[in-house]
Structure 1
Amino acid sequence: MLNVSRNKIILIACLSYLVFQLSYGLSKYSSINSAKNNLSVLIENRIAKDLSRLPLPDPSKSSAGNLLAIENYISNLNQQIENLPLEPKLLAIQSDKFNFESTRQLIKKSFQTPNKTITFVYSVKKASLWDYFSLAALLAAFGFYFLIEYRYKLKSQKQNVTIEQDNEERARLVIDLEKKLLINSRTHATVPLANKPLCFFTALIEYCVLHPDVLLNQNKDLPDELVSLSNKYFYRLTELGHTIRKRPNFSNSLEKTLSEIRAALDEILLDDLQLKEMFFPPKAHGEGSRSKLHHYGLKEIDSELVEVIGK
């Protein structure tokens, strides 16, 4: 998963570099062409300004011109423009005889005067591939890569923490009929419970899961189904070899049975309020344990948070 994500980050960084580099290259290309055009205009304007005093050859008048004067003019002009962008160098005016370095780019231009066409030739520094390379684009791509990777690592760490939290065992109430224990699965705290409250509590949980909206009042007889479930678990204890005594009357001393259940839950669910609220039989309020308003049933039980061993 991490390698796949890193490959994606590298791909994004490479694409980013290509975009940055392409943008820089196009901008550089445009800048170089603009510089060439500006140089052509500059040289043209200067020659046009000095044209009246330049002894250029004129075939129509059979004039060879003054070659030495023209060379001196070109040399002086080159001294003035040598520090301009692309290092321009004027080579010839109205002549095809000139020398130039092959490492430079030759540019030939002309302009029209009222009497004739003036042609001039100059050279500029050739742009290499390195001139179009942008170190800033490369650094930006690296920075982009490290930024995305850093953010991915933070996100990955948060996801790992979330996964660890999700994978952490949720506290569950475990009823072990084989050992007659109530167990907190998270803390592994255990408490033994006598036969009668153990069977009744197990039956009460199953009954309330089946009948989540039922009202269980101590002033009324236990529902037959709840009694039947309690007896079922008592017989199960007998099968497991825990008791040979007579089956208890689950309707008698109900408040005492509930008190024993509450005491056991208090001991193992001290810090797990969700389980305690879910499985703790409500105590009577107001008029005492025989209040007609008292309901000891369990509400909103999550069946995934309880496990019965030896059922």
Structure 2
Amino acid sequence: MLNVKKNKQILLCILVFLVFQLVYGVAKRINLVNAEYQLTQHIENRIAKDLNRLPLPDPNKSSAGNDLAVANYITALNEKLMHHPLLPKVLAIQSNNYDVGSNRKVITHQFSTPTQVVRFAFSLKKMGLFDYFSWLALIASIGFYFLVNYRYDLKLTKNNLVVESIDEERARLVIDLEQKLLINSRTHTSVPLANKPLCFYTALIEYCMAQPDVLLNQNKELPDELVSLANKYFYRLTELGHTIRKRPNFSNSLEKTLSEIRAALDEILLDDIELKDMLYPPKAHGEGSRSKLHHYGLRNVDTDQIEIIGK
């Protein structure tokens, strides 16, 4: 049972990490697109301001320009851009002749002036998958795991303290839905119980506490209220993560269900006759034991001798 809880905690933390990572990755991608656009505008504005002193080739004026001067200008411009996070590098202005490294992304852009169209190209650091990885998301998910684990251990310790604090002189029956156990508070002995008998027995106790004079006969249909209570506890087990099976039909195999309950009580209440007599569904005895005279309900249930954990 503990391993199931641990596995669920781990899966939950992985899900939290994936959500955090997805949010981080999308946000970073949006920021990169905005940064690329702003960088393109910055380079365009810089070149536009320097056009008057930049000897670029101009077909309209039959001017070949000055390649050396343009190269020196590009070098100076790159020195000003070298501290940018994207590591931009201007490759060419009014030229398609440039080399690009394999780990670089090339962006080409052009803008118009009253006299000509100016083209330029620059490269950026190419982003890999690891660049979108968030250490903060990993640390947050690990922290979340330890928080969930701490809260679970704290709750488990609290439940154990509740069981241990029960009066040692007077036995009580503890029904632990979280661990699917019937526990004798005096001896601390416990026995696991399957989903169907556990839900039915818990419902039977609650039903008989509310209606102590009711008669429950195996030859009659189960009262709707009793079935409703049993279904309620089954759904509670589902919420606690114990079962994903189809809801059982509590009306079927009633004798088998009662036998499993009696066997569990025999195991943990062997020396507590008073408590056993109060909480033990009566067996059918003698001739005609399955007749209308047989009644499996509980009488005079003392609420002080019942504890339900996880209700």
Structure 1 runs of 4+ with >3 Å offset: 163-169, 300-305
Corresponding residue of 1:123: 123
DSSP-derived class of the 1:91 partner: strand
Distance 1:303 1:80 in 2: 81
Distance 2:84 2:301 in 1: 86
Q: Deviations over 1:65-123 (max 9, x none)?
A: 11111111101111111111211100101111111212111010111112221110000
Work out whether 1:160 is the aligned partner of 2:160: yes
TM alignment of 1:67-82, pairs within 5 A: 67-82=67-82
Distance 1:25 1:302 in 2: 59
TM alignment of 1:80-99, pairs within 5 A: 80-99=80-99
Residues paired across the two proteins, number: 179
Structure 2 unpaired stretches of 5+ = 173-185, 187-299, 306-311
TM alignment of 1:33-48, pairs within 5 A: 33-48=33-48
DSSP-derived class of the 1:64 partner: coil
Distance 2:47 2:131 in 1: 30
Matched letter for residue 24 of structure 2? Y
Q: Is the Cα contact below 8 Å between 1:90 and 1:122 reproduced in 2?
A: yes
Distance 2:301 2:145 in 1: 50
1:303, distance to aligned residue in structure 2 (A):
12
Corresponding residue of 1:109: 109
Structure 1 unpaired stretches of 5+ = 173-185, 187-299, 306-311
Distance 2:129 2:73 in 1: 34
Q: Deviations over 1:112-160 (max 9, x none)?
A: 1122211100001111212111111111111100110010001011122
DSSP-derived class of the 2:8 partner: helix
RMSD: 2.6
DSSP-derived class of the 1:119 partner: strand
Matched letter for residue 20 of structure 2? F
DSSP-derived class of the 2:98 partner: coil
DSSP-derived class of the 2:63 partner: coil
Corresponding residue of 1:140: 140
Corresponding residue of 1:278: none
Distance 1:3 1:162 in 2: 23
Q: Is the Cα contact below 8 Å between 1:35 and 1:85 reproduced in 2?
A: no
1:60, distance to aligned residue in structure 2 (A):
2.1
Distance 2:304 2:46 in 1: 93
TM-score between both structures, scaled by the size of structure 1: 0.53
Q: Considering only CA atoms, is the larger Rg found in Structure 1 or Structure 2?
A: 1
Matched letter for residue 48 of structure 2? A
Distance 2:38 2:86 in 1: 11
CA distance 1:76–1:168, change in 2 (3 Å): same
